């Protein structure tokens, strides 16, 4: 059991690793007092904790230690007397006897319960994060994350990738997420920004000849926070030259499967693939959760000539909710509201009962239509069938949102279902000026089969971009980049971006491309999200040591805070009093 790393000048072993094979050894352990149990002046037990677990120390006499004191205990590993074994502890067959206790540090009573039965409110946990991190859960999560990082690094090193660090102080990029700005002391009134991703830097590295680059990179985006979004987050960032989409899939898959194995002990099978359209059509989202069914069913044909006005539309999509017939009317109303928020005109619901359908719309349905509804996804009595009629994308997305809301199991329940989503559209919709908008970024290579429709029918053009999805969370995305000036000019032209604008926005990248840009492609995925899913956590704050709240506050440090006038003056900034 002993590993070389356990031993230091102060301690010989970790608390949680002592076993019967160590019996007879006199040794020192260090840790925090998890619990003290006193039995008068002649006997006391102290449970000493470190990140590996607990060891019970037997003290012959009274002991003046309290919870969370830091101790060095020297004792002899002894088999516990018969009848006092504790099967709930890894160390439960042994204890430390004849103990000498050194108090290395005293401790005040902690403001939250460490290792207790109940979990404190997150507000309390974040304020006292350094104590919260002592908990078993956080120790496990952060150590799991470290194993993931290390597996990813090993996988890319093995595949011949070179880790390169890129700047945190960077130049503004006019599109994409809002950036955090950093004032320049040397050039008052000028600013750096923190990178929302190393996107441009890694493409420059391709031009520079680092043909397989990766980095575990911190990215910063000043956008509103969510359970799966923090201002700063960590991405595995990859780019490679002289490769196709297939090569990128190979590199990334290897790293993800290695990370999964390092985190869970099991290596997942091959990652399946779905096209973007198939995802939308079957699951109503571009990040499908494949852990459960409830796939969307197309009823457009069956309702082509319907009398029910609510179901007259270019597309009719339906979904079976197993056992959903007993959902309360209030719940159904809330779901209808949700569908409307997502742009649908409404939501039709049908309870499937032994005696047929139950629905306010039933009287408008023909017999054939009612049969079609009752047969959706092999529905049985007790199920609920939901339907949305609208244009294809709206109908699918509305049902897709309800599918997740109604069917998504807890993360911790597993399993882990990965998929590559391919063939995203190159553009998504039209901007206010009527020009198409880039779906990914303007350097994304169009699908070769669609290149001839770039000008004539841009919205139908697929791109060579792809996402990696795990359990309904978008882990990351990537694309084959445009390295040819002629294609880039055509895309800019479709985006109605003039040469001057392009030069102004992306000048240094386009300039670099004139000096010999290799064909290249890349990918980036969020390590916070990957770690959270492997840890069975519903939000990424549980795998981040010092996260911020949804409003961007750090409850421990108090950041963000005003800074001294002198500090402001130094960088040439004057703060306008708040308008209130």
Q: Where does this chain bind RNA (CB under 7 A)? A: 35, 37-43, 45, 47, 56, 58, 66-67, 80-81, 83-86, 88-89, 92, 95, 97, 109, 111-113, 116-124, 126, 173, 175-178, 196-197, 199, 221, 223-229, 341, 437-442, 538-539, 541, 549-551, 553, 555
- The residue (of 106 and 460) whose beta carbon lies closer to RNA is 106
To RNA, the closest distance from the beta carbon of 369 in angstroms equals 31
Q: Which is nearer to RNA, 52 or 197 (CB)?
A: 197
Q: Which long-range contacts (CB under 8 A, 24 or more apart) does 154-162 make?
A: 154/258, 155/254, 155/255, 155/258, 155/259, 156/212, 156/214, 156/238, 156/251, 156/255, 159/212, 159/251, 159/254, 160/212, 161/212, 161/213, 161/214, 161/238, 161/240, 161/251, 162/210, 162/212, 162/213, 162/214
> Minimum Å distance from CB 355 to RNA?
35
**Other C-beta atoms within 10 Å of 279: how many?**
24
CB of 116 to RNA, least distance (A): 5
Short-list 179, 201, 211, CA closest to 192: 179
In angstroms, the Cα distances linking 452 to 258, 304, 436, 491 are 40, 34, 16, 12
The C-alpha atoms of residue 526 and residue 476 are separated, in whole angstroms, by: 6
> 272 or 428, CB closer to RNA?
428
101 and 59 Cβ atoms separated by less than 8 Å: yes
Q: Smallest distance from the beta carbon of 436 to RNA, in angstroms?
A: 11
Give the residue with the Cβ less far from RNA, 38 or 266: 38
- Residue pair 41/73 in contact (Cβ under 8 Å)? The answer is no
Q: Among residues 95 and 281, whose Cβ is nearest to RNA? A: 95
Nearer of residues 192 and 424 to RNA, judged by Cβ: 424
In the complex, the smallest distance separating the C-beta of residue 397 from RNA, rounded to whole angstroms, is 9
Length of the chain, in residues: 580
Closest separation in Å from C-beta 453 to RNA: 20
Q: How far is the CB of 137 from RNA (least distance, A)?
A: 14
Q: Which is it for strands 232-241 and 70-79: parallel, antiparallel or unpaired?
A: unpaired
**How far is the C-alpha of 245 from the C-alpha of 314, rounded, in Å?**
34
Q: Which is nearer to RNA, 86 or 504 (CB)?
A: 86
Task: Kindly state the smallest distance separating residue 401's Cβ from RNA, in Å.
Answer: 7
For residue 197, the minimal CB distance to RNA (Å) is 6
Q: Are strands 272-275 and 297-298 parallel, antiparallel or unpaired?
A: unpaired
* Residue with smaller CB distance to RNA, 92 or 356: 92
What are the C-alpha distances in Å from 12 to residues 18, 50, 127, 412? 11, 13, 34, 36
Give the C-alpha separation, 289 to 339, whole Å.
19
CA distance 14 to 49: 9
What burial class does residue 424 get, using C-beta atoms within 10 Å of its C-beta: 0-12 exposed, 13-18 middle, 19+ buried?
Answer: buried
| Beta carbon nearer to RNA, 279 or 297 | 279
State the Cα angle at 287 between 286 and 293, rounded to 5°: 105
Shortest distance in whole angstroms from residue 341 CB to RNA: 5
Nearer to RNA, 117 or 329 (CB): 117
Q: For residues 142 and 553, which CB has a smaller minimum distance to RNA in the complex?
A: 553
Least gap, CB of 188 to RNA (angstroms): 29
> Least distance from C-beta 180 to RNA, angstroms?
12
Q: Token pair for residue 12?
A: 């010989």
Question: Which is closer to RNA, CB of 88 or CB of 363?
Answer: 88
């Amino acid at each position: 059991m002993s590993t070389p790393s356990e031993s230091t000048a102060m301690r010989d072993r970790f608390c949680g690793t002592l076993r019967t094979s160590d019996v007879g050894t006199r040794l020192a352990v260090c840790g925090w007092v998890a619990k003290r149990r006193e039995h008068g002046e002649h006997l006391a037990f102290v449970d000493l904790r470190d990140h590996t677990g607990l060891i019970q120390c037997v003290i012959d006499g009274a002991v003046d230690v309290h919870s969370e004191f830091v101790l060095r205990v020297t004792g002899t590993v002894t088999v516990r007397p018969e009848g006092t074994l504790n099967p709930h502890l890894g160390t439960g067959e042994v204890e430390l006897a004849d103990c000498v206790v050194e108090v290395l540090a005293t401790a005040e009573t902690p403001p939250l319960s460490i290792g207790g039965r109940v979990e404190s409110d997150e507000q309390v946990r974040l304020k006292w994060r350094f104590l919260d991190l002592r908990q078993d859960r956080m120790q496990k999560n952060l150590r799991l994350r470290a194993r993931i990082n290390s597996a990813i690094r090993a996988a890319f090193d093995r595949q011949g990738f070179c880790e390169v660090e890129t700047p945190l102080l960077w130049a503004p990029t006019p599109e994409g997420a809002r950036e955090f700005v950093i004032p320049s002391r040397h050039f008052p009134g000028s600013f750096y920004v923190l990178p929302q991703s190393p996107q441009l830097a890694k493409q420059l590295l391709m031009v520079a000849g680092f043909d397989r680059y990766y980095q575990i990179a911190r990215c910063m985006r000043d956008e509103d926070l969510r359970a799966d979004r923090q201002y700063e987050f960590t991405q595995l960032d990859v780019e490679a030259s002289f490769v196709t989409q297939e090569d990128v899939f190979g590199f990334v898959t290897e790293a993800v499967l290695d990370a999964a194995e390092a985190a869970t002990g099991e290596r997942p099978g091959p990652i399946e693939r779905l096209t973007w359209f198939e995802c939308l059509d079957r699951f109503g989202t571009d990040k499908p959760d494949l852990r459960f069914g409830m796939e969307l069913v197309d009823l457009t044909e069956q309702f082509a000539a319907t009398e029910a006005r609510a179901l007259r539309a270019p597309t009719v999509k339906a979904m079976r909710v197993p056992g959903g017939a007993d959902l309360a009317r209030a719940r159904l109303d809330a779901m209808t509201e949700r569908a409307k928020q997502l742009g649908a005109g409404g939501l039709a619901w049908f309870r499937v009962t032994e005696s047929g359908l139950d629905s306010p719309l039933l009287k408008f349905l023909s017999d054939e239509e009612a049969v079609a509804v009752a047969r959706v996804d092999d529905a049985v009595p007790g199920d609920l069938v939901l339907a949305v009629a609208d244009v294809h994308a709206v109908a699918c997305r509305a049902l897709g949102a309800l599918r997740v809301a109604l069917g998504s199991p807890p993360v911790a329940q597993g399993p882990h279902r990965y998929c590559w989503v391919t063939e995203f559209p190159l553009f998504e919709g039209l901007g206010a000026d009527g020009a198409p908008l880039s779906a990914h970024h303007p350097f994304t290579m169009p699908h070769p089969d669609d290149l001839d429709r770039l000008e004539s029918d841009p919205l139908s053009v697929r791109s060579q971009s792809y996402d990696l999805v795990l359990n309904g969370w978008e882990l990351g995305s990537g694309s084959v980049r445009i390295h040819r000036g002629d294609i880039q000019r055509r895309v800019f032209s479709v985006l109605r971006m003039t040469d001057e604008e392009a030069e102004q926005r992306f000048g240094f990248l386009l300039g670099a491309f004139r000096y010999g840009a290799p064909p290249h492609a890349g990918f980036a995925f969020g390590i916070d999200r990957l770690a959270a899913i492997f840890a069975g956590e519903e939000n990424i704050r549980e795998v981040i040591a010092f996260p911020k709240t949804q409003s961007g506050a750090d409850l421990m440090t108090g950041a963000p805070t005003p800074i001294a006038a002198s500090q402001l003056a130094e960088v040439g900034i004057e703060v306008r009093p708040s308008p209130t």
